[in-house]
Chain A
Amino acid sequence: MAKKITIDPVTRIEGHLKIEVEIEGGKVKNAWSSGTMARGFEALLVDKDPRDAPYVTSRFCGVCYSVHQIASARALDAAFGAKVPWGGTLLRNLVMGAQYIYDHPLHFYQLSALDYIDIMAVANYKGKDKDLLAIKDKIVHLVKSKDTYPLTPRYKPDQFSVKDPDIVITAVKHYIDAMKMHALARNMGAIWGGRTPHYQNIVVGGVTSYPDINQVARFRTMLDEQAKFINEVYIPDVLTFGTGPLWELAKMGLGGGHYNYLSYGAFEKDPEGKSFVFPAGVIMGLNPANIKVDPFDHKKITESVKYAWYKENQPVHPYRGEQVFDLNKKEAYSFVKAPRYDGKPMEVGPLARMLVAKNPSILGLVAKGAKPGAVARHAARAIETKLVVDACYQWCDQLLTEMTKPGFKIHDTAHWEPPTEGMGAGFYDAPRGALGHWIEIKDKKIKNYQAVVPSTWNASPRDDKGVRGQYEESLNGVPVPDPENPINVVRVIRSFDPCLACAIHLIDPKTNKIRKFLME
């Protein structure tokens, strides 16, 4: 007899998520992923000045802040006919690079690590390292004073939890160090972004922050410190865990899912945007021995609402459909829609990007026997963080060269005023994956606005054919020997770095207004 358990709320994620799983014979037999919060930002944007959109949509999420700002600005760039000067693109790349550099280590240490270590093993540390002993004292003191919040309560450590006191205490030290490092990384972005979370400088046509040479020097110096942490702490930690204590989980491919991957690409390498640090592409049914990457075509995107709280509709391109909110729909269980590419559920995010890029480091791990899944996602995240750090150095150099040229520009001022009519799509691969914004402008105001965000892809419910979303599929077969302690379930879900606040769409439920949106 299958036993159904519910994890609500799933914590250490952004937003509100409920996961239900059915367990039979110690394994997950079936799973349901539900987004349980909605705000309705797209509906609020209707009739607003289009230039508000990047500022407002940034507030979709304060963890992966400003990814929506840039996707939105890119949609506006297209709709306004604006051409961002190379200086503006470089400054956008630099602040978004700083965002990646903060976001990925935050996910590993603050949002995930507690699932993989038995933190109480710290008490058994026998070494003499002064810094580590201070950590031991801190934790032991918490235990003695009978107040170990927020480290407990927790799911019980299992056979995969790391219990070696030396590894655990080092990880806890790095958890604390990482907290400081990502605050510093955010400061780096604020040099041009104004402040964090939510940068202020990204607008249609470019950026508002005219740079000076001292700022570039400051950014570089702060980047040196981040590079050191990423190369000497973050990447070694991920490798130590992934190829050591977690190798069993890596080999079994815990949390694999559908093995379909999608990347929109990110970070222009040239003024024309011909090539990207992270290339765009699609992989259907991964064959690790022979990876076939197809070009991305946004016309192949459809969204199904069969199991979401929206009025029933056939799956259509998200911008061609009629969508009405329906809170009382019987079979629905999520605010998240079910986007599909060529009819198939896709995984988006670091693993998708690194596979689409055929990154040698991730392919090396796969060749050694790691199956794409939860552990590989952590590895892909670490690998691409280093790629971003390296790119940031290049962008600093390129910006310095650009700044000294006569007529240096950061903004397309000629296209600042909204067009009477226009349409535009903005694609950007955010830390959590493929992100698309679409805008339609009429009478200089927003007529319609849509976003299909990374967690909509990953956290989607079943589609019209009953095919599970990527979270749901990746939970299939996950071992849960003790239904009271579903630690593997949260390991898999958190490996995607869920960001639910932005995954929720809705159309005005008060007026029940039907909106049409056409996209060529």
Chain B
Amino acid sequence: MKKPLELIESHGVSRRDFLKYSAVMAALFGISEFEFTTKIAQAMEKASQKPPVIWLEGQDCAGCTISFTQILNPPATTIILDKISLRYHETAMAAAGHLAEKAYHDTVKEGGYVLVVEGSIPSADDRFCMVGGRPFKAIVEEAAQKAGAIIAVGACATFGGIPAATPSKGIGLGKALPGKALINLPTCPVHPDHLAGTVLYFLTTGKVPPLDKIGRPLIYFSESIHDNCRRRAHFDANRFLEDWNDPNQREWCLAKKGCKGPLANSDCPIRRWNDGINFCIDCGAPCMGCSEPEFYLDMSPLYTAESEISKRIFAMKEAGLFNRENS
């Protein structure tokens, strides 16, 4: 067997470039450079076998799929064609009907794939979501059994999201697959960086990234929107936007328009969306707390400070809990 670095060179990557890259990546993942290099080499040895991915859509809107295709570097087509082997994805695949079903069953038989789930699972009655003549619930349970990793993307697949409040009683994977280890990437839709980064982490280290107690990667979900919001000074100074027409209020705090940023954890204000062009708060719209299990029902009414969450935010403000020395 070739030594790791020789193997990497045989794939057309210069030794010098690779060492530079692995120093950074190893530091990022908190493992030694040697361990990192070995892992990459092992991964490359399996080279032609791109990691198989099954992407299931349940009670979804395909918004997370569209969000995923927002990645420009590397382009989504490169990820789909060169980096992974996308065996089943209803919105992307060439096959339909029995051919699509066959691709799915072949991969499930093989095992060891990354399972991505978008959309919730109806808990009121299986017939609320049927694919290929079978309940979506049965498909998820089956696919989860032999998956190497399970990633729930978006508010619906993680914690139920909006469908949780409907008569179909949509539930997230945590409830649908009790006891199964999974990675939760909430927000409505999933942030493309959160998904790409999580997949990359898993493929490079073979491990699940460090998660918080509700399964979200700490690297993306450890700080509140509020802590990194550039309107925070206005919150502290009680300057709340009342009129969207007033250019003087343009940057003021949106808490009275129902912003849930103080009790929502996500790196949206730093990472932003659409290549850093914008994010909810910067277009004058309140954060709806879509990264949290309480989304949507407990966040409603969305555009006033009358939701339970908003009342809690103002009570906490009153108690001084958001003062910088306390937060």
Residues of A within 8 A of B (CB): 6-16, 18, 36-41, 43-44, 48-49, 51-52, 55-56, 59-63, 65, 85, 110-111, 114, 119, 138, 142, 145-147, 149-155, 175-176, 179-180, 182-184, 186-187, 190-201, 203, 206-210, 325, 327, 408-411, 413, 486, 490, 501-502, 506-510
User: Within 8 Å CB of A8, what residues of B?
Assistant: 97, 131-133
- Neighbour of A200 across the interface among B58, B133, B285, B304, CB < 8 A: B285
Contacts of B168 in A (CB 8 A): 38-40, 506
Q: A49-B304, A190-B273 in contact; A41/B279 too (CB < 8 A)?
A: no
Q: How far is the CB of B68 from chain A (nearest CB, A)?
A: 10
B7 at the interface (CB under 8 A from A): no
A37, B119: Cα distance in complex, Å? 11
Specify which chain B residues have a CB less than 8 angstroms from the CB of A199 in the assembled complex. 283
Residues of chain A contacted by B80 (CB below 8 angstroms) = 150
Assuming A8-B133, A36-B131, A411-B245, is B91 touching A192 (CB within 8 A)? no
Would B284 and A179 count as touching, CB distance under 8 A?
A: no
Q: Of B64, B72, B170, B283, which contacts A194 at CB under 8 A?
A: B283
Point out the residue from A195, A198, A411, A506 that lies within 8 Å of B244, measured CB to CB.
A411
> A413-B244, A508-B167 are known contacts. Are A196 and B94 too (CB-CB below 8 A)?
no
Name the distance in Å between A278's Cβ and chain B's nearest Cβ.
23
Residues of B with C-beta under 8 A to A14:
61-62, 91
Give complex CA distance A394, B167 in Å: 44
**CB contact between B284 and one of A37, A209, A325, A510 (< 8 Å): that residue:** A209
Question: Which residues on the B side are within 8 Å of A38 (C-beta)?
Answer: 128-129, 168
Closest to A37 in B: B129
8 Å CB contact of B96 from A12, A180, A183, A201:
A12
Q: Bin the interface of chain B by size.
A: 35 or more
Please name 30 pairs of A and B residues whose Cβ atoms are closer than 8 Å in the assembled complex, sorted by A. A6-B97, A6-B133, A10-B97, A11-B95, A12-B93, A14-B91, A49-B301, A49-B302, A49-B303, A52-B301, A55-B288, A60-B61, A62-B60, A62-B67, A146-B48, A150-B80, A150-B87, A150-B94, A152-B94, A153-B94, A184-B72, A186-B274, A187-B70, A194-B278, A194-B281, A194-B283, A198-B189, A210-B250, A210-B284, A413-B242
Complex Cα spacing A180 to B75, Å: 7
Q: Give the distance in Å from the alpha carbon of A411 to the alpha carbon of B241 in the complex.
A: 13
CA distance A38 to B125 in the complex (A): 11
- B275 — which chain A residues lie within 8 A by C-beta? 187
A194 x B96 contact (CB < 8 A): no
* Residues of chain B from 29 to 77 with CB closer than 8 A to chain A in the complex: 48-50, 52, 57-67, 69-72, 75-77
Q: Other CB < 8 Å A-B pairs besides A12-B90, A183-B70, A501-B61, 20 of them?
A: A8-B133, A9-B96, A37-B59, A37-B129, A38-B129, A41-B166, A44-B162, A51-B304, A52-B301, A59-B63, A187-B275, A190-B277, A194-B273, A196-B273, A197-B189, A208-B244, A327-B125, A413-B245, A486-B97, A506-B167
B86 at interface, CB cutoff 8 A: yes
A26 to chain B, nearest CB (A): 19
B241 to chain A minimum Cβ distance, whole angstroms, is: 9
Q: Is the CB of A41 within 8 A of B162?
A: yes
Map CB proximity to A onto B264-297 as digits: 1 under 8 Å, 0 otherwise: 0000000001110111111111001000000010
| B262 interface contact, C-beta 8 A | no
Residues of B within 8 A of A (CB): 48-50, 52, 57-67, 69-72, 75-77, 80-82, 85-97, 99-100, 102-103, 122, 124-125, 127-133, 136, 161-163, 165-168, 170, 188-189, 242-245, 247, 250, 257, 273-275, 277-285, 288, 296, 300-304
Q: How far is the CB of A309 from chain B (nearest CB, A)?
A: 8
Cα separation A26 to B223 with both chains bound (whole Å): 61
Do the beta carbons of B130 and A16 come within 8 Å of each other? yes
Q: Are A191 and B278 in contact (CB under 8 A)?
A: yes
Interchain CA distance A203-B257 in the complex, whole Å: 12
Bound Cα distance from A16 to B279, whole angstroms:
30
Taking CB atoms, residues of chain B closer than 8 Å to A410 are 244-245
Give Cα A44–Cα B59 distance, bound, in whole angstroms: 15
Chain B hits for A325, CB < 8 A: 167
How many Å from the CB of A413 to the closest CB on chain B?
A: 5
Question: In whole angstroms, how far apart are the Cα atoms of A51 and B288 in the complex?
Answer: 13
Known: A44-B162, A49-B304. A154 touches B62 (CB 8 A): no
Residue contact B125 to A147, C-beta cutoff 8 Å: no
User: Which of B94, B250, B300 counts the most A-chain CB atoms under 10 A from its CB?
Assistant: B94
A16 to B304: give the CA distance in the assembly, Å.
Answer: 35
A83 to chain B, nearest CB (A): 13
Q: Which 5 A-B pairs have the closest CB atoms?
A: A62-B63, A194-B283, A208-B284, A49-B301, A195-B273
Residue of A nearest to B76 (CB): A179
Q: In whole angstroms, how far apart are the Cα atoms of A197 and B280 in the complex? A: 12
Query: Do A190 and B62 have beta carbons less than 8 Å apart?
Result: no
| B87 CB to nearest A CB, Å | 5
In the bound complex, residues from chain A placing their C-beta under 8 Å from that of B303 are 49, 51-52, 203
Task: Please indicate the chain A residues that have their CB under 8 angstroms from the CB of B302 in the complex.
Answer: 49, 51-52, 55
Chain A nearest CB from B172 CB (Å) reads 14
Give the chain B neighbours of A193 by CB distance below 8 A.
Answer: 278, 283
Complex-state Cα separation, A179 to B78, whole angstroms = 10
Q: Are A63 and B66 in contact (CB under 8 A)?
A: yes
* CB-based contact B127/A44 at 8 Å: no
Which residues of the partner chain B approach A509 to less than 8 Å between Cβ atoms?
124-125, 167
- Report Cα–Cα, A410/B244, bound state, in Å: 7
- Min CB–CB distance A332 → chain B (angstroms): 11
A52 to chain B, nearest CB (A): 5
B301 near A36 with CB under 8 A, answer no
**Closest chain B residue, CB of each to CB of A8:** B132
**Quick one: given A9-B96, A55-B288, A179-B76, are A39 and B163 in contact (CB under 8 Å)?**
yes
> Given A11-B96, A152-B95, A183-B70, are A16 and B167 neighbors across the interface (CB < 8 Å)?
no
Residues of A within 8 A of B281 (CB): 194
Q: Is the CB of B66 within 8 A of A150?
A: no
Task: Establish whether residues A201 and B124, one from each chain, have CB atoms under 8 Å apart when the complex forms.
Answer: no
Quick check: A195 and B61 within 8 Å, CB to CB? no
- Asked if residues B162 and A147 are in contact (CB atoms below 8 Å), the reply is no
Nearest CB to that of B100 among chain A residues? A11
Interface contact A149-B100, CB-CB below 8 Å: no
Minimal beta-carbon separation of A515 from chain B (angstroms): 12
